[in-house]
Structure 1
């Protein structure tokens, strides 16, 4: 896909006339959680900039969401080189906010980026070679106006590149001072164990795995969570809301399906009768708990001690505020967990289950 930018939304306040001063109470909202046995702490909810922070959304709205997030304790912002659309635009927009809003608070923030999926055309712009990963990191730092990121991920496993080379590139990123920690995403349990062994031998802090995980996508329970526990690694899960399926948006069925097909990586085949029945049953459980469906879904993934944080996307302050409300009730009874299992037994969504090995 092309990396050049198309037409932008008009930026009403691009000169940033109103200086940003962070809320003094931003650290009081919740407890931060340790990543494995490392010294790094993350908020239980992190903000991902995958789809709502490219040139497809008004910049002023993006800025409002990021400011609200930081003011309410979300100190971790998760990006990747090809987030947008178009590719690179989320990092560029974040970089504009970093330069004007967040520069005084850089030491209070955890910023991550990734490389592994396709970024530019030709043989050198994808997967896990050293040339791609390290070149991409340099470009990401430039777009974000940063000297370093806190976490740099291999975004997918590459079966055609020796794992020693891929993890060696993460090692170089850390030892060069361009990243503080290393991570991997969508690796199987077996590949995770191999990557951790290589990193340990190099002395590289490979501390975190970013897998897809939700009530409707539980592949991590088939060995990956145990592997992470055994190796003192943490998990930060993405798509905990199953690309919006685990929200109230699609409780009505057909109308929601028509809207959803505009969203990348979620197709009409996701909206099966079994999945929609599960969503309605889960919504009933959420209502009894005094939560929205989205809040139930977030609380459910965060119940697992291995899960340090859940990455959410938000297109508005209202969405972000609702998601943060999940932290008001994160305890489950055994009966509730059993009811959730029963409600989702015939349902399921695919995507990113160690997909980089396919």
Structure 2
């Protein structure tokens, strides 16, 4: 059946916010295809989630060369969804991709920040998704073995060739962010956006990065605002049978984080959310967006219902000073060290 997007997609509640000093706005909630959209996942379910997102004003879809699993399959699936459903609406969409983590065999496949890897990855992403250009292309990680000038130089080349309208970085420290911005500025290319991990349980960007992004006029899109599902109703009664935290070796660190102390914090935050008339997930998304320097919250969604729940965060974005102070009792800097010591990466 031919897909026709909702005619009310821009009038049914989605809000948009300018990205730093640029003229481009992003939806307050963006959809990431990190998980649930790969080759091992149900194709039609992913298609339904993307349709529902666009029907509700989500114009930004975020990918990376290694999203899947298997690596690369999310972009391949997205190319099929573009061709089937979204090609007529390309001008309404912001589509991003990234490179830097492990992708293909050999010394150039990653993890690396070399010009070879980034430019080859960008070309592959365009081919797999059937696109003429990306709206945003990111350096996905800092590579200590590659000069920053080479990594950022690759972004400059990609931008000047028209393969990406804007460029960004992900998970860079404040110091390296400033250096990257300087390299780009020397080439007359703005540092458009930074994509860090940001949630009530991971507040590292509040220790200088947000201030710097404001100074630079660079946007900020926070990924994992739900802290890999910790800031949802999933773990209110402990770790459920079959949960990812129990079963996946890659989530061993996350499982360790779900100790009694943190479960108490999750339940306490949930009580605050209930008093606000929200689910914990809705409050967590709204909390990330409380600072206007955060352009968008980048969420994932396994189902249409899960996406719908997240979208309801937009119904109550305001916090009282008392609510923020109470949240701070359970969403403190003490959680950051635990999170940053884990192996959870994007």
Q: What is the TM-score of this pair, normalised by structure 1?
A: 0.91
Cα pair 1:211 1:352 within 8 Å, conserved? no
Q: Cα offset for 1:30? A: 2.5
Q: Kindly provide the CA deviation profile for residues 222-281 of structure 1, in whole angstroms up to 9, marking residues without a partner as x.
A: 111111011011100001000000000010103268542345753221212221111000
Q: Kindly provide the CA deviation profile for residues 309-333 of structure 1, in whole angstroms up to 9, marking residues without a partner as x.
A: 0111001000000000000000001
**Pairing 1:304–2:330 present:** no
Q: Cα offset for 1:87? A: 0.3
**Structure 1 residues 264 and 292, CA gap change in structure 2 (3 angstroms):** farther
**Structure 1 residues 259 and 160, CA gap change in structure 2 (3 angstroms):** closer
2:279 alignment counterpart: 292
More moved, 335-344 vs 72-81? 335-344
1:19 alignment counterpart: 2
1:163 alignment counterpart: 148
Q: Cα offset for 1:31? A: 2.3
1:1-358 aligned within 5 A: 18-28=1-11, 29-126=13-110, 127-255=112-240, 258-262=243-247, 265-267=250-252, 268-345=255-332, 347-348=335-336, 349-351=338-340
Q: Kindly provide the CA deviation profile for residues 143-172 of structure 1, in whole angstroms up to 9, marking residues without a partner as x.
A: 111111000000001111111111110011
Q: Cα offset for 1:342? A: 0.6
Q: Cα offset for 1:46? A: 0.3
**Structure 1 residues 112 and 230, CA gap change in structure 2 (3 angstroms):** same
Cα pair 2:14 2:58 within 8 Å, conserved? no
**Structure 1 residues 275 and 84, CA gap change in structure 2 (3 angstroms):** same
**Structure 1 residues 162 and 347, CA gap change in structure 2 (3 angstroms):** closer
**Structure 1 residues 264 and 192, CA gap change in structure 2 (3 angstroms):** farther
Aligned counterparts of 2:179 and 2:341: Cα–Cα separation in 1: 19
5+ residue gaps, structure 1: 1-17
**Structure 1 residues 352 and 329, CA gap change in structure 2 (3 angstroms):** farther
- Give the CA RMSD over aligned residues: 1.8
Q: Secondary structure at the match of 2:231?
A: coil
**Structure 1 residues 266 and 259, CA gap change in structure 2 (3 angstroms):** closer
5+ residue gaps, structure 2: none
Cα pair 1:250 1:256 within 8 Å, conserved? no
More moved, 28-37 vs 342-351? 342-351
Aligned counterparts of 2:311 and 2:296: Cα–Cα separation in 1: 12
Q: Secondary structure at the match of 1:254?
A: coil
Q: What is the TM-score of this pair, normalised by structure 2?
A: 0.94
Q: Secondary structure at the match of 1:255?
A: coil
**Structure 1 residues 257 and 63, CA gap change in structure 2 (3 angstroms):** closer
